[in-house]
């Protein structure tokens, strides 16, 4: 009968066994396409996704045999809740095929995009990919026109080709969400946080970080005006979006040489890595050792064999954007990335290895609990370890600090903190605004012909950056960012950037660290490692406040640890910008012709 918990548990076991067959097949087909984008592989991917959606639908129907919402056993009840939550698989087959096709089209456009007509090129038909070429130009060029070419060209070759597919995706994703009992797809995405007034909570965290961001923004704007003297900056106070060292202005680390408080004391880890002939594999070995020295798990033997850690040189198209893959069979775990030998990529390697460590720690949970406590937790693990790896103290330990540099030098420490701020504080508004835009699109508040106008309203208002060239409603600049065509929700990174400092604070305490938070390196602390492992083992079997409590002893997200971490730099910035006007108008203003 519908309340027979014993029979229900037997069914849950059968579901797990079946899921550990169906999911690996779908993952394998998706992996094959991601590492070799061809029409043939796309058809196989669609087939496998169709098969998985049919399994999900069948399973959902079987959950109706049980009165699981009234089960008293919490664990079983939670498994049924997750199994019944089948997302886009709820769509009838033809609509499921349509939404999968629309997503594949956009992913393919994004990953194959190349930009031609580079200023100064003899051959205007020579075309360049994002990774590594355009990324390197955005990182290193100080030529306004070259930066504008890469910035505008990338948007022409990606976002501008997507609005129709994106509109189709939104329509069908909303239809699926409605069938699953949500008001729209944004409501469905937010449900993974199981948090009352989640949007309000995010807004409060963002407001708590605004003043810190305004200080960094005012400082960067002042120095960029000096670097690009004679070029137009808008009177409304925004920074032209192509000057921040990154295609989306989401991370300003490449401006370190311009913005370091003490330029004479560089943190030139990339140069040190190259001088020491670092390879991709050495970067991964370094990262893996940090995890195992904490008492966490090593990579399984086949990991290195099966992963794609470098951009293939045989000319095939691949999805270069870094990602970590769980095949849900407790055996196969992979990373796919187009690694370059730089400090940024060493950090990214730790980020992706953090995902795999989480997979390994919760691999014996029921399949539906093999997720982060909330999506932000999954994004935070690798970054927490990287907070220790990046310290001058740790860099010295692994011989990536110049021999003549003293890790305790206070000026070097301030340079280090600036470097961290250019990645962690600079990111905050960007991490916040992408899903502010998408949630409004899913709510129907932003129509297709307003996609780009609303995108720039948010970019100018929250991030204080504006377009370097005129934008039109035929542009779709949101589509120039991987996660939009790839349908990866983004508020998870904003959450991660807040909670990773709460985790860092708690683990540093566990590791017995004394002194300023930004100097802490938890390396080799098995006490800290055990605490992190205990949290990861939970997967999504418990609501995330339980997981938060397992590490930090408290149950809420808050920005106080991030602010504590950057306190010494905040004081320095306040002095640096005391004659500047902080902030900018909500509106974009105009700088083009």
Residues in touch with ligand NXA (CB under 6 A): 322, 351, 493
Select from ligand NXA, Zn ion, none the partner in contact with residue 437, using the beta carbon and a kind-dependent cut-off of 5 to 8 Å: none
Q: In this complex, which beta carbon is closest to Zn ion, that of residue 355 or of residue 531?
A: 355
Q: In this complex, which beta carbon is closest to Zn ion, that of residue 155 or of residue 334?
A: 334
Catalytic one of 28, 171, 199, 483: 483
Query: Three-state SS for 323?
Result: strand
Q: In this complex, which beta carbon is closest to ligand NXA, that of residue 355 or of residue 509?
A: 355
Tokens describing residue 167: 């509109």
Q: Rounded to the nearest whole angstrom, what is the least distance from the CB of residue 423 to Zn ion in the complex?
A: 14
CA 65 to chain centre: 38
Q: Determine the Cα–Cα distance for residues 220 and 206; give it in Å rounded to an integer.
A: 20
Q: Rounded to the nearest whole angstrom, what is the least distance from the CB of residue 358 to ligand NXA in the complex?
A: 14
On whether the CB atoms of residues 286 and 343 are closer than 8 A, the answer is: no
Tokens describing residue 422: 């250019």
Is 379 a binding residue for Zn ion by CB under 5 A? The answer is yes
Select from Zn ion, ligand NXA, none the partner in contact with residue 493, using the beta carbon and a kind-dependent cut-off of 5 to 8 Å: ligand NXA
Is 88 a binding residue for Zn ion by CB under 5 A? The answer is no
Q: Determine the Cα–Cα distance for residues 584 and 575; give it in Å rounded to an integer.
A: 19
Sign of the C-alpha dihedral computed for residues 92, 94, 98 and 101 taken in this order? positive
How many chain residues touch Zn ion (CB under 5 A)?
1
- Tally of CB atoms within 10 A around 237: 19
Query: Three-state SS for 7?
Result: helix
Select from Zn ion, ligand NXA, none the partner in contact with residue 23, using the beta carbon and a kind-dependent cut-off of 5 to 8 Å: none
Radius of gyration over every alpha carbon of the chain, rounded to an integer in angstroms: 24
Query: Three-state SS for 128?
Result: strand
28 part of the active site: no
Range in contact with Zn ion (rule: CB under 5 A) among 114-122, 163-171, 378-386, 435-443: 378-386
Q: In this complex, which beta carbon is closest to ligand NXA, that of residue 351 or of residue 509?
A: 351
Write out the E strands in 274-415. Answer: 323-326, 333-336
Q: In this complex, which beta carbon is closest to ligand NXA, that of residue 237 or of residue 375?
A: 375
Q: Determine the Cα–Cα distance for residues 492 and 194; give it in Å rounded to an integer.
A: 13
Cα–Cα distance list, 546 to 461, 475, 492, 557 (Å): 35, 43, 18, 12
Phi and psi torsions of 366, nearest 5° = -55, 145
352 part of the active site: yes
Would you call the peptide bond into 578 cis, given omega within 30 degrees of 0 as the criterion?
Answer: no
Q: In this complex, which beta carbon is closest to ligand NXA, that of residue 322 or of residue 550?
A: 322
Q: Rounded to the nearest whole angstrom, what is the least distance from the CB of residue 430 to ligand NXA in the complex?
A: 8
Q: In this complex, which beta carbon is closest to Zn ion, that of residue 149 or of residue 193?
A: 193
Range in contact with Zn ion (rule: CB under 5 A) among 216-224, 372-380, 393-401, 443-451: 372-380
Cα–Cα distance list, 112 to 103, 106, 131 (Å): 14, 10, 11
Residue 359's contacts (CB-CB under 8 Å, 6 or more residues apart) are 324, 326, 333, 370
Range in contact with Zn ion (rule: CB under 5 A) among 189-197, 309-317, 376-384, 436-444: 376-384
Range in contact with Zn ion (rule: CB under 5 A) among 89-97, 248-256, 373-381, 518-526: 373-381
Q: Determine the Cα–Cα distance for residues 444 and 440; give it in Å rounded to an integer.
A: 6
Which residue's Cβ has the minimum distance to ligand NXA? 493
Q: Rounded to the nearest whole angstrom, what is the least distance from the CB of residue 356 to Zn ion in the complex?
A: 11
Catalytic one of 88, 352, 379, 570: 352
Range in contact with Zn ion (rule: CB under 5 A) among 55-63, 169-177, 333-341, 374-382: 374-382
Residue 392: name the closest of 305, 269, 293 by CA.
269
Residues classed as catalytic:
352, 483
Chain residues that interact with Zn ion, rule: CB under 5 A? 379
């Amino acid at each position: 009968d519908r309340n027979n918990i014993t029979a229900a548990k037997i069914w849950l076991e059968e579901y797990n066994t079946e899921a550990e067959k169906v999911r690996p097949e779908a993952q394998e087909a998706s992996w094959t396409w991601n590492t070799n984008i061809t029409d043939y592989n796309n058809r196989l991917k669609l087939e496998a996704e169709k098969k998985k959606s049919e399994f999900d639908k069948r399973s959902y129907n079987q959950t109706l045999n049980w009165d699981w919402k009234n089960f008293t056993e919490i664990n079983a009840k939670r498994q049924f809740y997750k199994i019944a939550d089948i997302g886009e698989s709820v769509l009838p087959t033809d609509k499921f095929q349509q939404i999968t096709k629309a997503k594949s089209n956009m992913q393919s456009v994004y990953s194959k995009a190349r930009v031609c007509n580079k200023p100064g090129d003899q051959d205007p038909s020579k075309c360049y990919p994002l990774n590594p070429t355009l990324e390197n130009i955005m990182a290193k060029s100080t030529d306004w026109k070259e930066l504008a070419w890469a910035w505008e060209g990338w948007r022409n070759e990606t976002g501008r080709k997507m609005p129709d597919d994106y509109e189709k995706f939104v329509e069908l994703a909303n239809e699926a969400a409605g069938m699953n009992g949500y008001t729209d797809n944004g409501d469905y995405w937010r449900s993974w946080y199981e948090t009352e007034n989640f949007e309000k909570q995010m807004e409060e965290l963002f407001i708590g970080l605004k003043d810190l961001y305004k200080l960094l923004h005012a400082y960067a704007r002042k120095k960029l005006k000096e670097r690009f003297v004679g070029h137009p900056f808008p009177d409304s106070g925004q920074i032209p979006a192509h000057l921040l060292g990154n295609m989306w202005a989401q991370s300003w680390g490449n401006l370190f040489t311009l913005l370091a408080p003490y330029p004479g004391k560089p943190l030139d880890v990339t140069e040190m890595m190259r001088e020491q002939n670092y390879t991709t594999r050495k970067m991964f070995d370094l990262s893996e050792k940090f995890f195992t020295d904490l008492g966490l798990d090593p990579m399984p033997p086949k990991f290195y064999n099966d992963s794609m850690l470098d951009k293939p040189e045989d000319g095939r198209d691949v999805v270069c954007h870094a990602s970590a893959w769980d095949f849900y069979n407790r055996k196969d775990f992979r990373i796919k990335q187009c690694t370059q030998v730089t400090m940024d990529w060493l950090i990214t390697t730790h980020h992706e290895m953090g995902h795999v460590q989480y997979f390994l720690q919760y691999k014996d949970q029921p399949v539906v609990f093999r997720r982060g406590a909330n999506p932000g937790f999954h994004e935070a693990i690798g970054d927490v370890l990287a907070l220790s790896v990046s310290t001058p103290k740790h860099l010295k330990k692994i011989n990536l600090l110049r021999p003549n540099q003293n890790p305790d030098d206070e000026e070097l420490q301030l340079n280090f903190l600036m470097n961290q701020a250019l990645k962690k504080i600079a990111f905050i508004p960007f991490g916040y605004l992408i899903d502010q835009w998408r949630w409004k699109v899913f709510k129907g508040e932003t129509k297709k012909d307003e996609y780009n106008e609303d995108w720039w309203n948010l970019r100018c208002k929250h991030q204080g950056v504006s377009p370097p060239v005129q934008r039109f409603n035929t542009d779709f600049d949101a589509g120039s960012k991987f996660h939009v065509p790839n349908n990866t929700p983004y508020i998870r990174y904003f959450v991660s950037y807040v909670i990773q400092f709460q985790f860092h604070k708690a683990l540093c305490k566990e590791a017995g660290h004394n002194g300023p938070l930004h100097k802490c390196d938890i390396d080799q602390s098995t006490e800290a490692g055990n605490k992190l492992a205990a949290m990861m083992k939970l997967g999504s079997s418990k609501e995330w406040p339980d997981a938060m409590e397992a590490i930090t002893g408290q149950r809420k997200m808050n920005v106080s640890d991030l602010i504590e971490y950057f306190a010494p730099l905040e004081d320095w910035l306040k002095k640096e910008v005391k004659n500047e006007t902080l902030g900018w108008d909500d509106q974009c203003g105009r700088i083009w012709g």
